């Protein structure tokens, strides 16, 4: 009996080792110039080298000269700005780290003590009946990889993953000098153990490529979200750095893993629940959380989620975990029936339909393949007819919103071309570099000065960046009020009406100015008969003077009549 069990476990381990990298797509191996037979060390080194390469998106980006990190930035992009504390002179052992921080930062320590990192022996004792049993094979795979890196001896097991492992180096140092050794862990540090997950996340760079380069390669994605951040001109150029870091707080997934797996527990149960996505995927320009949470899917998760078993793997969420509605994770981490940390393999609209050229893809071969992947996702719960009809509704509804926005944007662009925007020729300062002035531009949401932007431009940029995006998100997440009335279509129409009214007012005013100018050009002054200095002002003055003389005469006559 025991021998048979060991054989079963050995077979499971061999199968796991052979298939552990199954969710790393071929595109990633091709991009790294590796064969699928590459060792875990080769894969790790190739991924980390690319991850740290400025030419591949690491570092401060092409606008680096326009901004400097502020103190808080070291927690958001530590590879660029973190420096060990100079005030703490201690050289501490593993036990001393825990002892000191139990007093200094007790919540850190309590979270770590609850984590899998601190309880590896519990993982080794899991039985096949436990929903977290898969972690046992995962731990063995981690240890196997650490041996290839020379960080674990043959037959040696990890005792725990403690402070020094993450903040200095994995399983190689017994003591840490605060002033010289400490680091703030970045995603490649996590990859030292979690190679599979890191590779899956990094594969987003390789699997999202646009037919006509509507977006840069690998974007938008979590793998390159910090690059997208620093390459945004207004983010780099705006002087209010504390405001700018509001973007970075979400655009830091490229740098770290703890936006989904909160430190220091790094709970996979937390990261599997839809609320984990809400902090970033919300708001006026990508209200994914609001749309999902108000959908029937979200309401079922809210009502029934406490009864679901979040310890089971995503692939077993419906069959073994009792899950009866999709979450962000079960839809976006799934591709062709398998789950991974690559969340962009089905992207078609990329959240922002107003990006030039995005709509051109819809209906084409590139989009069609991704549409079929969505159909497969939806048919886990729904019939194919319903899935296809709804996805068609989403596409056509989004295109209707796009047409409304484009019509309004053309009106604003024509006003600009005719030099009719308020202050356009007199009171329109240039935005801070590296931004360049333009009509209804993204920078105008975050920088204003005098008549840049004009109110009509602000309406236009909000239509494209916010209202249209929310219409699409509402449809994509099945929230009817989120695309028809509360958000989306109704706000689009409100902004459209404002733009059309303002256009009429500005053009009427321009016509009136032209008429006044023509009248002034006639030199029709009653006080300047030779017309050398005639003007409408002179004509008005003459009329006013004549009226005053007549009134004085009337008053004198009135007194004599009495």
The residue from 117, 222, 286, 297 that is catalytic is: 286
Which secondary structure element, helix H or strand E, spans residue 47, and what is its range?
helix 40-51
CA dihedral 509, 511, 517, 518 (to 10 degrees): -160
The residue from 53, 121, 485, 508 that is catalytic is: 485
285 an active-site residue? yes
The answer to whether the beta carbons of residues 326 and 363 sit under 8 Å apart is: no
The residue from 51, 335, 352, 496 that is catalytic is: 352
178 an active-site residue? no
Closest CA to 44 of 150, 149, 114: 149
CB atoms within 10 A of CB 187: 24
286 an active-site residue? yes
Closest CA to 349 of 417, 431, 288, 305: 288
Surface-to-core class of residue 101, CB atoms within 10 Å of its CB (0-12 exposed, 13-18 middle, 19+ buried): middle
The residue from 169, 181, 258, 285 that is catalytic is: 285
Sequence-separated (6 or more) residues with CB below 8 Å from residue 248: 73, 76, 77, 226, 229, 235
The residue from 63, 145, 194, 251 that is catalytic is: 251
Q: Between helices 40-51 and 134-148, what is the axis angle to 10°?
A: 80
The answer to whether the beta carbons of residues 342 and 25 sit under 8 Å apart is: yes
Whole-number Å distance between alpha carbons of 310 and 329: 12
66 an active-site residue? no
Residue indicated by tokens 């009214």? 501
Spacing of C-alpha 325 from chain mean position: 24
Q: What is the DSSP letter of 421?
A: S
Whole-angstrom CA distances from 72 to 121, 168, 257, 427 are: 37, 21, 18, 36
390 an active-site residue? no
Active centre residues (catalytic): 251, 285-286, 352, 485
């Amino acid at each position: 009996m025991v021998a048979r069990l060991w054989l079963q476990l050995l077979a499971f381990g061999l199968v796991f080792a052979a298939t552990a990298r199954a969710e790393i797509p071929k595109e990633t191996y091709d991009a790294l110039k590796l064969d699928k037979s590459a060792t875990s060390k080769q894969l790790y080194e190739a991924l980390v080298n690319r991850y740290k390469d400025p030419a591949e998106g690491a570092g401060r980006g092409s606008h680096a000269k326009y901004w400097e990190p502020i103190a808080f930035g070291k927690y958001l992009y530590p590879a660029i700005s973190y420096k060990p504390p100079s005030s703490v002179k201690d050289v501490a052992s593993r036990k001393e780290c825990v002892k000191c921080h139990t007093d200094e930062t007790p919540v850190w320590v309590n979270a770590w003590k609850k984590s899998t990192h601190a309880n590896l022996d519990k993982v080794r004792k899991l039985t096949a009946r436990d929903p977290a049993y898969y972690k046992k094979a995962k731990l063995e795979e981690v240890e196997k990889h650490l041996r290839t890196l020379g960080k674990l001896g043959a037959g040696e097991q990890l005792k725990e993953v403690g402070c020094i492992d993450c903040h200095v180096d994995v399983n190689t140092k017994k003591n840490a000098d605060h002033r010289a050794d400490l680091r703030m862990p970045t995603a490649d540090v996590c990859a030292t153990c979690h190679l599979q997950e890191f590779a899956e996340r990094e594969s987003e760079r390789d699997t999202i490529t646009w037919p006509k380069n509507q977006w840069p390669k690998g974007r938008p994605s979590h793998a390159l979200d910090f690059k997208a951040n620093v390459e945004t001109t207004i983010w780099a150029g705006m002087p209010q750095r504390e405001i700018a870091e509001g973007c970075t707080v979400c655009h830091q997934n490229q740098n770290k893993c703890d936006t989904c797996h909160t430190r220091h527990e790094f709970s996979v149960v937390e990261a599997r629940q839809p609320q984990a996505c809400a902090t970033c995927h919300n708001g006026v320009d990508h209200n994914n959380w609001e749309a999902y949470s108000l959908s029937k899917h979200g309401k079922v998760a809210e009502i029934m989620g406490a009864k679901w078993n979040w310890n089971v793997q995503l692939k077993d969420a419906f069959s073994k975990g009792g899950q009866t509605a999709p979450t962000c994770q079960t839809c976006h981490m799934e591709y062709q029936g398998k789950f991974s940390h690559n969340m962009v393999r089905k992207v078609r609209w990329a959240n922002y339909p107003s990006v030039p050229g995005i709509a051109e893809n819809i209906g084409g071969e590139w989009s069609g393949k991704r549409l079929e992947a969505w159909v497969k996702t939806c048919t886990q719960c729904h019939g194919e007819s319903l899935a296809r009809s709804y996805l068609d509704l989403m596409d056509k509804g989004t295109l209707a919103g796009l047409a409304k926005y484009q019509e309004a944007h053309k009106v604003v662009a024509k006003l600009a071309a005719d030099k009719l925007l308020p202050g356009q020729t007199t009171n329109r300062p240039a935005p801070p570099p590296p931004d360049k002035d333009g009509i209804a531009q993204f920078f105008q949401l975050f920088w204003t000065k005098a008549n840049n932007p004009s109110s009509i431009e602000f309406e236009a940029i909000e239509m494209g960046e916010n209202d249209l995006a929310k219409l699409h998100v509402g449809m994509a997440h099945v929230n009817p009020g989120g695309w028809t009335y509360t958000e989306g279509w109704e706000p689009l129409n409100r902004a459209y009406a404002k733009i059309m009214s303002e256009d009429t007012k500005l053009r009427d005013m321009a016509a009136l100015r032209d008429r006044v100018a023509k009248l002034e050009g006639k030199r029709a002054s009653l006080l300047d008969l030779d017309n050398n200095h005639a003007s409408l002002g002179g004509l008005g003055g003459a009329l006013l003077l004549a009226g005053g003389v007549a009134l004085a005469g009337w008053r004198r006559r009135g007194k004599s009549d009495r």
